Amino acid sequence: MKYEIFISGVQKELQNERHALKDYIHGDPLLGQFFEVFLLEAQPANDRHAEDLYLNEVKSCDVYLGIFGNQYGYEDSKGQSPTHREFLLATELGKHRLIYVKGLDDSKRHPKMAKLIKSAGEQLIRRRFDTQPELFASVYASLINRLIYDGKIVTGPFDASACRNATVDDISSEKISWFLSKARTSRNYKLSDSTPVIDALNHLNLLDNNKPSHAAILLFGNNPQKFMISSEVKCMHFHTLEKRKPIPSYQIYKGTLFDLADQAVDFVMSKLNRSVGTRAKGPQAPVDYDIPEEVVAEGIVNAIAHRDYTSNASVEVQVFPDRVEIWNPGTIHPPLTLEKLLLPHASQPNNPLIAEPLFLTKYIEKAGSGTVDMVKRCKKAGIREPEFKIDGGFFALTIWRKQAKKQPKSQPESQPELQPESQPESLADRVHTLLKKGALSKSELSERLGQKEVSGQLNKVVRKLLDEKHIELTIPEKPKSRLQKYRLTKKGIDYLKKLSK
């Protein structure tokens, strides 16, 4: 028998959030087994009075879930709205109550709604949210806790359950600080980058009985692969149209999920063809790859975010002359289908506690629209639509490359010219882009460029950028130190800004 959740809120306000939450709960493979959602506005026409219907549902429900915004709603003869009456009845009957408040600015709320929110806060813990992914993650964590408390499940889902043998000491304070700064800039996230680690993890629902969850270790761990070795990403580059040994370039990347995404995207982009146009329309020549970088990033981040982390397999990224294939262990869950991935659909992340931080830092750009955006970007770039399939327990994405046209031997200056990624100017731009995210050693640069060892050309480019004051040493007093790294100077940062424009 399922628990019934009664979702309350002013009928016209936050309607999209309520319906999306209902679809999310019903579509989640775990929550859908245990919870049924009641929404008054989703009910068919009925000869019963609406007030009798919703109050009776409050009486019969197991969980009262209120989503409160700025409006108070229609007031009856006693000056109370249906939302207020529902909350009071749920309180009187001792129902399990969950309250979620949209936004931080209480000054914009109807005075009675502000009073209701304050009253709820004096009785129970409220959660604030700004976006649907934040709402989903908070509800997900609360409902899982209810199932564990009632003994319906012995342990929580993988991303929510404690990582065995891990402690808060295994969380990197630097990575937490970086995330908070990035999230604040990207999504106006409310926590400052000086927030203590424990408080940040707690706010993101990444603690299980004060222990870091699997999601916490994967996102912010000092060494995530110490606990989950298969969380690495394998990247391969083939010169043939099928997998064939020996593999010309094979890299296994480790680190947090943010590191894995950055490294895998850098690997793919370093293997794609690049065309450089003329400077006819400005000082910077336009640059195009045979697959847009946004499409590559979306495919890789989706694989990392939604994979099955209980599997012993890893995410694999394979670059072929005509395509890029991204394989991740796992599948999609109802009501999603392969066909629906090509159409607008609600966000239904397999690992919501992992997906939310990726969303807050814009690694996932829009909830539920990633695959649709990929299709649009591919069409705009003049390449075939990406293809999705389920094969042997893996979800596979194929992104087709734009086929290069043969260029005449002598080209007019006005025509774009195909430029291989190994050319010094191109390699210098890649080095600028890699150092944008922080200082790196020469071996780390080489690895992220997909090279097996530091090449003579990389050495040449590094010397050139040092001479031009685009980069500098992190340990200038010891130029040959084994700990030496390189970082962008102000001149290098300015160049990178011009490059991105």
Please state, in angstroms and as integers, the Cα–Cα distance from residue 141 to each residue in 36, 131, 332, 393, 452, following that order. 17, 16, 21, 27, 42
What is the per-residue pLDDT for 139? 92
Q: In what order do the strands lie in the sheet with 417-419?
A: 287-289, 274-276, 417-419
- Neighbour tally for 108: CB within 10 Å: 11
Which residue pairs, CB below 8 angstroms and at least 24 apart, start in 142-149? 142/98, 143/25, 143/31, 143/34, 143/35, 143/63, 144/30, 144/31, 146/3, 146/63, 146/96, 147/34
Q: Which amino acid is at 413?
A: E
- Residue 399 makes CB contacts below 8 A (sequence gap 6+) with 291, 295, 296, 299, 323, 324, 325, 326, 374, 378, 386
CATH 3.40.50.10140 at 3-131, yes or no: yes
**Percent composition of the chain: helix, strand, coil (DSSP 3-state, to 5):** 40, 15, 40
- Residue 384 makes CB contacts below 8 A (sequence gap 6+) with 378, 400
- Using CB atoms within 10 Å of the CB of residue 308, give its burial: 0 to 12 exposed, 13 to 18 middle, 19+ buried: middle
Same fold, 232-400 and 423-500: no
Angle ∠(351,294,355) on CA atoms, nearest 5: 15
- Neighbour tally for 446: CB within 10 Å: 17
Strand partners, 444: none
Enter the CATH code of domain 423-500: 1.10.10.10
- Using the CB atoms, write b or e for 415-445: b if 16+ within 10 Å: ebeeeebeeeebbbbbbbbbbeeeebbeeeb
| Alpha-carbon span 351 to 74, nearest angstrom | 38
- Phi and psi angles of residue 279, each rounded to the nearest 5 degrees, phi first: -95, 30
* Domains of the chain by residue range: 3-131, 168-227, 232-400, 423-500
Q: Which fold has domain 232-400?
A: Heat Shock Protein 90 (3.30.565)
Q: Strand, coil or helix: what is 160?
A: coil
What is the per-residue pLDDT for 44? 61
- Residue 86 makes CB contacts below 8 A (sequence gap 6+) with 6, 8, 54, 55, 58, 64, 66
| Alpha-carbon span 78 to 75, nearest angstrom | 7
Strand partners, 274: 289, 419
What is the per-residue pLDDT for 158? 87
**Each residue's pLDDT expressed in tens, for the chain with a length of 501 residues:** 799 999 998 878 899 899 999 988 988 888 999 999 998 776 665 555 556 678 899 999 999 999 999 999 888 888 999 999 999 999 999 999 999 999 888 888 999 999 999 988 888 777 888 888 888 888 998 998 888 888 787 667 889 889 989 999 999 999 999 999 999 999 999 899 899 999 999 999 999 989 999 999 999 999 999 999 999 999 999 998 888 888 889 999 999 999 999 999 999 999 998 877 666 665 666 678 899 999 999 999 999 999 999 888 999 999 999 999 999 998 876 666 777 777 776 667 788 899 999 999 999 865 556 788 888 999 998 999 999 988 878 899 999 998 755 444 444 433 333 333 333 346 788 888 888 878 888 888 887 776 767 777 888 888 888 988 999 998 888 888 888 899 999 998 888 887 766
| Alpha-carbon span 354 to 261, nearest angstrom | 13
| Alpha-carbon span 77 to 270, nearest angstrom | 69
Half-sphere exposure of 356 (CA within 13 A, CB side): 26
Contact call for residues 300 and 265 (beta carbons, < 8 A): yes
Contact call for residues 462 and 471 (beta carbons, < 8 A): yes
Contact call for residues 120 and 109 (beta carbons, < 8 A): no
Nearest to 96 by CA among 123, 114, 78, 71: 123
| Alpha-carbon span 372 to 381, nearest angstrom | 14
Strands (E), 204-262: 207-208, 211-212, 233-237, 249-253
Angle ∠(366,267,286) on CA atoms, nearest 5: 70
What is the per-residue pLDDT for 411? 44
